[in-house]
Structures are given as structure tokens and as C-alpha cells.
Structure 1
Amino acid sequence: MGAGRLAAGVALVALERRLVRLRVLLLGALMLVCGGAAQAQDSGPPYPPVVPGKALVFPQDFGAHPAYRTEWWYITGWLRDAAGVERGFQLTFFRVRTRIGEDNPSRFAPRQLVLAHAAVADPATGRLRHAERSGRAYPGLVEALEGRTAVRVDDWFLEGGESPAAGYRSRIEAEDFGFELEFTPDRAPVPNGRDGYSQKAPDPLNASYYYSRPQLAVSGSLRLDGEPVAVSGHAWLDHEWSSEILPEGARGWDWIGINLGDGGGLMAFRMRDHEGRALWAAATTSTRDGSVRIHPPTEVRFEPLRRWRSPRTGIEYPVEWAVTVGERRYRLRPLMDDQELDSRASTGAIYWEGAVRLHEAGGGAGEGPELGRGYLEMTGYAERLRM
């Protein structure tokens, strides 16, 4: 966060969890297209605030919201091939309004940046495969369009969302992996918070507009080391936009998005302070028939159960958790412990993001039957996130 008081302490947990990993990449892109971003001046109007009472409208809100500071489309899920091998995958597209060159009529002005990140959790190798791309917005090549989901960085893309019932398509090609997938919804988008106004901290200014799409049916192909295989599975999509980032007192966050075996969905997060205590927490549970329950901070609790230390960085992460949401208590177990992503060489952040199983919590440290699968993201265990 640079000087440390960016946005006057107004937070957006999910915004920073995506953007912090892209800090160096963003600065490098700005310097490249601006000829020295350090000398560039903000030239546009202020970012609009996030306020309660603004209803989400579809399909319009499937698309980009270019006036806001940042937004992202974030897909996570589990894939299974014909041999029964299971893997996790993640795909994120980011849009960033720089407020640089907004009074410049040139199409080359870096008013908007689009960045992308993709990863596959591969138990066969015991590691994450991941790749990144970025560029300034330019029609037809690098863009995030309004009115529907259409984000692209060169030949990487995610598109769809022409209506609430319409599906999505994506294509990613990296050096040692790639995938071409289709995502089919079976229900309307699920708003998080108060009708899509998702508060992130005690101050109500700390908020985003946020909806999820659980239980997306997935089909397509996955390529690992040049070998394509047909895959199927289920995915989770988050779309969020705001003008704010991490507050002064926060160090990081823990977040889950889980597709439940009964057809429902569970999203939960907590913001942590420097002592590991919860600054704020919230959750959304939804059912197959479309009913939604919003859980306040008093109904959400994350408790670490088992830790894993990275042999590369020495950072210790709680890779198993007890999570309480409302009257239910769950246990999270990872697909594999080593789902740490070290992006210091490109984006400046180290964090853990990976595929997990959700179980009913048993007595003591035990566990009951598996209830669902999804993703866990943990940031700020190395050091406080900065931009």
C-alpha cells in the first residue's frame, strides 16, 4: 500500500488479496507505458465510493465497472479426469483504474490495466503450477468490457454472462500448463452482505460490491506438460469491485469459497490484525433452491488446527482449520500441504492459496464426513501485505 495510509484506512479484503500479488507487475507496467510512472500525476476524477442500498443488476453487473479503482473475476474449483485424478485450479482477471492519463485522448494512455493470474494444484508433482500476464487496456487485445463478462489479456480470456442463465468460457496457455474450460450455472448469482454490499471492517466505508456464483458445472480440457486430458468438475466464481484496500490495522485475511455436496454454497472470510485476532468476519450460505443467509461477525470463527512450514521460505501456514458459521462447525483439509505461491520475483508477495475439502467437525480434533470442496486463501503470514 505504498505510504501506508492509502485510501485513509478504508479496506477491501478481497481486493487486496488479489492485488497485492500484482504490485511489482503493476508498477512495471505503469513505468513501461508511461515512461516513468513515478512522475505521472493523477488526472481523473475521484474513485466512486461503495454505498449500501445500490442494487446489483444483471447482466449489467457481470461486466466491468471502470470508474472504480479495482475489480476482479475470480474462479476456483476442482477438476477430475477420466482416470479419477483430481486437481485444483484458479483463474483471476483484474481490472485496475490508474487515474493516469485520463485527460489524454490517445488509446495508448494507461488509464486502465488488465492483469491475469492462473494456477493448477497438481498432487502428482506436489506443487502449484502458475503463470501471470498483464497489459494496458487496448481494444481487442487487452480489455474488460461493460455489460457482460468479457476480459482478455492477449490470448487469455474469460467471457460469457450475457444473461443470468448464460455460461462462461475461458482459455489459458502457459509454459507447462493450460486449460480450456466452460462453466455452466444452475442458479442466479448469490449476493454477499446486504444485497451485494459487503462490509469488510467495523467502519461501514470499508466495503465492496460482491456476488458469488457457486456450483458452476465445469467441462473442457486441461494440459500439463503438453499432454491434454478431458476434465469435468465444479467451480466457484467471485466478482467484486471497489475503490478501497487494506486498512491500517490489518495484516492479512483468511477466505474460503466451498461448493457443498448438497448443492449449496459457503463463503466465509476474516480479517486478521498483527496478533492474529479477527478484526472482522462475515459469511454467506446458500442452498440449491436459491435461499441465502448472511452471517454477521458474531457467527463466524476461524480456528487453526495444524500448521505446515514451507521448506523454501520458512513461512508457517495453518493448513487445517476449524471454521464455525452459524450453528455449524466444519473442518478444512488441504488437497496437499504445499500450495504456497512465491511470487517475489514478479509481484512481490508470498501467500497460500489452494484446494481444500470441507468436513463436518467431529469431537475434539476429529472430523465427520466430507461435505464439500473448494478453495482456501491465506495472506499476511510472511509479512503485512503492502502495495
Structure 2
Amino acid sequence: MSARLIASLLFCLFGLSTVLAQGFGGLGIGQDGYSKPIKGKAFDFPKDHGPHPDYRIEWWYVTSTLKGDDGNDYGIQWTLFRSAFAPPSDTSTVSTWNNGQLWMGHAALTSATSHFVAERRARGGVSQAGVRAQPFSAWIDDWEMTAVSDQTEGISQVKLAANGEGFSYDLRLDANGPLVLHGDKGYSVKSPDGQASYYFSQPFYRVSGALRIEGKSIQVTGEAWLDREWSSQPLSETQTGWDWVSLSFDSGEKLMGFQVRTKDGAPFTSATWISADGTPTAFGDGALKMTALKTDEVAGRRVPTGWRVELPQKDVDVEISALNPDSWMATSIPYWEGPVSIKGTKAGRGYLEMTGY
């Protein structure tokens, strides 16, 4: 093993350890030297489908609920994280093989009886991982989310692929609705102290393709939801994690909602109601209510896997239940994420993510 490779691996490990030691995933640490989200700044597409290296944290995050030709329900996750370990003005760590960026990929495939997880890491500057805005391509090793052709506009039509021990998937995603900006035209506040991110979604993907589970191929169709977010300090130092949902109702309407838990006091909440035509309505702190109904023993801890979600202004009073309560992401930064069913004033399917447990 070369000295350069050893140095790269040590930087990844010690850099990641530093991040983990400061707030959940480092999201509550300071943002000195990095760019900060500004309310009122307009998005610039397709440029904003690409990376923003002057911000400390960024992700491209896909979840999908699927029905197999075997009659079973499935869910998949595909995520690429970018994290900077030095502000753009600090060139002390920059070289031709290290540009101060760490890339990390997570992939999962979930059924009612199994949950497969894989993780990849890469240094910036060596083309092992990265994102290009146009034509769009995001990759880490052989995992990819990429436009179906050079003529594809933005992220409207993409291929999605990942693999790990015992599983793989190869899917096509076709958007049949617009991008949705969360919060105040994409400026999404996360705490009473004003921490914020830029945040938009493409929640209108139709999906087709194939899964492979322990050698068995399964044809699937369904829906997918892409979240795009970047910031430099999206949480405050007192916030410990979040509970997030993306819910797609049979009516064609959708709901994104989250609560960020604090060490003391009530959680901070935010929600976006998305009409069937893609028109968003933002709801600030206090409008959304999430109440844990059921907990399970998962990875040696108690995790709420059933919730009541209420947004009275839109007649939402639903219960969501995990397809597989054991959907634990045993990754460098562990968390729970998996598909859920919805019943109550509205019915449908969605995804639940919980961090900091």
C-alpha cells in the first residue's frame, strides 16, 4: 500500500471521527469560513443539481417505494453525501489527489423480511466519486444516478444503480411533476436559532426496473422521491437528531415533514404540503405534529417505528407503520430508514428516516 493511499485513508477515518464527535453527524458545528444559506436567493438550474463545494455539507438522496412482480412491497435508498473538511480559503489540505472533500454513499434495499445495507467512501480529487450538473451524473465507484442521455434536461430522467452484499438494483426514474422548493422558496429553517439549508425535492418520479436479492431477480414499478440539500450548519448545537417523513398519498398529494429533537424542550417542526400538480404550501414550526405510537428493539436501542402524523390545516391525521422495523442503517453514521404504509384520513406509502437514536 502506498504512503499516499495510507495518508488518504487516515484522513478519511480521523476526519470522519472529528465530525461524529460534534453534534449528530457534525451538523451542529460551526460554519466559519464556509458559505451560508441566504433567504431570498434564487435557485439556478441545472447548475444547482451539481455540487456546492463552498458549503460544508450536501447530499443527493433518493428513496423509492416499489411493488414487485412477485406481489411483495420493497423500498430502496440511494444517497451520495459530500462533506468538506476545510473551508475553501484553506488550501493547506488541497493537492491533486485530495481537494478537501469526502464523499460517502449509502444504499439500501428493504422488504418485509430483509434489509440490506452498503456504504462506500471516497476522497475528492481523484474522480472516484463526484457530481456533474449537466448532463447530470452523480457517482461513487460503480453506484450511479445519471441522466439517461446527454440530451436529458436536468434530472427529469435518470438511471439509478447500486449494489452490495446480497443485493443490487437497476432502475429508471421519470419525473411527471415539477421540482418542489421547501420552506421560503427553498430556504429551509431547521431551528429556533435560525440554522437553515437550501432544500428542494423532486417527489414525482415514476420508477421501473429490477432488483436482485440473493441471486433472485424481481421486476418492480413504483414511485421515487429525490431530496437535495446543502448547508454549512443545518442544526444548532443543542439539537440531537430528527424524524423525517416523505408521504405520497393515493390522491396524488404529498407531504414532507420533519421534527428536529433537542436536548431539552419541544422539537422544531417544518412541513411542506404538495398538491397533486406540484404546488407547495410551507408550514412553519408548530403546524406539524409527530407522535410516536410504537417502538421496537432495533440494533440494541428502542426506536419508534410507528407514528401518528398530523397536519390539521390539510386534514392530515394518519398513522404510518414500518414495512420492516429492522430497517437500521449500520453505517459510519448509523440511523433508521425504511418504507412505511399510511392509513387514516389519507392512505398511501412513504418513507421514514430517524437519526440520533
Normalising TM by the smaller chain, what interval?
0.7 to 0.9
Give the one of 166, 170, 187 matched to 1:176. Answer: 166
Structure 1 segment 74-89 matched on structure 2, within 5 A: 74-89=61-76
Give the one of 371, 381, 386 matched to 2:347. Answer: 371
1:308 aligns with 2:308: no
Alignment check: 8 A CA contact 2:136 2:155 kept: no
**Mapped partners of 1:150, 1:105: distance in 2:** 24
- Tell me the CA shift for residue 331 of structure 1: 1.3
Structure 1 segment 125-140 matched on structure 2, within 5 A: 126-138=113-125, 140=127
**Mapped partners of 1:158, 1:164: distance in 2:** 12
**Mapped partners of 1:148, 1:181: distance in 2:** 18
- Tell me the CA shift for residue 37 of structure 1: 6.0
* Structure 2 equivalent of residue 238 of structure 1: 227
Structure 1 segment 131-210 matched on structure 2, within 5 A: 131-138=118-125, 140-147=127-134, 149-160=136-147, 162-163=152-153, 166-204=156-194, 206-210=195-199
1:358 aligns with 2:345: no
Q: Give deviations 1:206-249, integer Å, cap 9, x for gaps.
A: 00000011121011111111222221110111000111143222
Aligned AA for 2:241? G
Q: How large is the Cα RMSD of the aligned pairs?
A: 2.6
**Secondary structure of 2:193's aligned partner:** coil
1:288 aligns with 2:272: no
**Mapped partners of 1:70, 1:242: distance in 2:** 5
Aligned AA for 1:356? V
Q: Give deviations 1:245-265, integer Å, cap 9, x for gaps.
A: 432221211100112212222
Alignment check: 8 A CA contact 1:30 1:110 kept: no
Aligned AA for 2:42? A
* Structure 1 equivalent of residue 243 of structure 2: 254
Alignment check: 8 A CA contact 1:270 1:278 kept: no
**Mapped partners of 2:327, 2:307: distance in 1:** 15
**Mapped partners of 2:320, 2:225: distance in 1:** 17
Alignment check: 8 A CA contact 1:249 1:274 kept: yes
Identity %: 33
Give the one of 283, 296, 304 matched to 1:318. Answer: 304
Q: Where do 5+ consecutive residues of structure 2 fail to align?
A: 1-5, 19-31
Alignment check: 8 A CA contact 1:164 1:188 kept: no
Q: Where do 5+ consecutive residues of structure 1 fail to align?
A: 1-27, 362-369, 382-387
Alignment check: 8 A CA contact 1:236 1:259 kept: no
**Mapped partners of 2:74, 2:64: distance in 1:** 8
- Tell me the CA shift for residue 104 of structure 1: 6.3
Q: TM-score, normalised by structure 2?
A: 0.85
1:108 aligns with 2:94: no
**Mapped partners of 1:334, 1:238: distance in 2:** 20
52-61 vs 352-361, greater mean Cα deviation: 352-361
Q: TM-score, normalised by structure 1?
A: 0.79
Give the one of 271, 291, 296 matched to 2:260. Answer: 271
- Tell me the CA shift for residue 336 of structure 1: 2.3
Q: Per the alignment, do residues 54 and 335 of structure 1 end up closer, same or farther by CA in structure 2, a change over 3 Å counting? A: same
**Mapped partners of 1:230, 1:57: distance in 2:** 36
**Mapped partners of 1:325, 1:91: distance in 2:** 28
- Tell me the CA shift for residue 57 of structure 1: 2.1
**Secondary structure of 2:347's aligned partner:** strand
Structure 1 segment 59-74 matched on structure 2, within 5 A: 59-74=46-61
- Tell me the CA shift for residue 140 of structure 1: 4.2
- Tell me the CA shift for residue 83 of structure 1: 1.9
- Tell me the CA shift for residue 165 of structure 1: 6.8
